[in-house]
Amino acid sequence: MNLLNVDAPEKLGFERFDVQLVITAIALISFGLIMVASSSIDFASARYGDPLYLVKKQGIFLSIGLAAGLLIMCVPTSMWQKYSGLLLCLAIFFLIAVLIPGVGKLVNGSRRWLSLGPMSMQASELAKICLLLFFSSYLARRNQDVQKSWTSFFVMVSVIGVTVVLLLLEPDFGSSVVICLTLGTMMFVAGVPILRFILLALAGVGGLALMAVVSPYRWERLVAFMDPWSRQFDSGYQLVQSLIAFGRGEWFGLGLGNSIQKLFFLPEAHTDFIFAIIAEEFGLLGVLTLIGGFGFFVYKIFSLSRKASEKGEAFSAYLCLGVGTLLAVQAFINMGVSSGLLPTKGLTLPFISYGGSSLLISCALLAMVFRVNWEIGRD
């Protein structure tokens, strides 16, 4: 079987692609690059002596991501389904490897990074794509068993459980939440009986709540989230500075590049809290426009999932469902954290925040969505 399945340019069928989906993706990626430049210039100048250092790196990551995406688009979805079991093993291997001293890099007290030559990659980001492919394949192949058999249910729960335990050992609480919500949504749509799903959801929420309570730094984050102003110079400092950015933005913002909070007041302004800088520079109108763009983007992916399901392509349908859910959940959590709606989590805003791992995996997921779009056509 030809793995890459590369056709001549005149036979690629570009007319099959959803133009609105493509344009929205390009708009989000382009806006992300602009905001990384805006939010990181002063930080990069002080830290690296080059105002454009981080945006150059982001541009390199984007180039690599687009090149990898083009290769992924050449791989038939049937190949991903065929090797989904191997990919699951690969995900577990990544999550175990990152915990080994000397293999995983220790950054800010967390061992989340794998050194891959001149660059690093978050193990959780690699695991996300592998788990999505495995669950898409498993739900497509065993749909009837999933709806009736306890054995299939426990297989999925075991996979989620092992993944979450390994993530919490890093620790990476945010990725645990994203993965649980994404895979749980896929199981719900697949027809897992509501009682089992409720039991799973309660166990998941209870487990995550317990982890938050028994961990001092997580508990401190939760308390600071409830009343950040009482700890505005301690654990609530980051959220307070983020809320100040939202307040300064008012209706229409201060204008691109005119943020004050990015001048060393707001930590992680170009990564986890870039949404606050967007609010400060573009105001409520800009925030609503970005939320609308993400909402439309996810809607188009879900529409593609429904179309694949109608054509009997179960694996492709679950894959698009998983990708759309993952991007939606991660974007919602990032925006919620920045605006004070949710406790602080170390999660990037897909396609927008600075970060090589997040951008590369987002490009890979997007490429798989485009491949599904090409395979099922637009009709």
Is pLDDT of 320 > 90?
Answer: yes
| Cβ atoms within 10 Å of 58's Cβ, excluding its own | 23
Paired with 105 in beta bridges are 113
Q: In the chain, what are the helix, strand and coil shares in percent, each to the nearest 5?
A: 70, 5, 25
**145 versus 79: which is more confidently predicted?**
79
Whole-Å CA distances, 46 to 41, 54, 231 = 9, 12, 28
Q: Residue 234: what residue type?
A: D
Kindly state the average pLDDT of the residues 247-274: 90
Distance CA 139, CA 142 (A): 5
Let me know the angle formed at the C-alpha of 205 by 202 and 206, rounded to the nearest 5 degrees.
80
Q: How high does pLDDT run on average in the chain?
A: 86
* Residue 328 token pair: 């939606």
pLDDT of residue 197: 78
pLDDT tens track for 343-361: 877 789 999 999 888 999 9
Q: What is the mean pLDDT of residues 203-208?
A: 75
First to last CA, the chain: 27
Q: Where are the beta strands (DSSP E) in the chain?
A: 104-107, 110-116, 119-122
Can you give the pLDDT at residue 7?
44
Instruction: Please state, in angstroms and rounded to a whole number, the distance separating the CA atoms of residues 298 and 296.
Output: 6
Q: What is the pLDDT of residues 85-109, one digit of tens each?
A: 999 999 999 899 888 877 777 666 6
Domain extent listing, the chain:
16-376
Pick the closest to residue 172 from 306, 312, 330 (CA basis).
Answer: 330
What band does 206 get if pLDDT is binned at 50, 70 and 90? confident
Crossing angle of the two packed helices 173-190 and 314-338, in degrees rounded to 10? 140
CA atoms within 13 A on the CB side of 257: 4
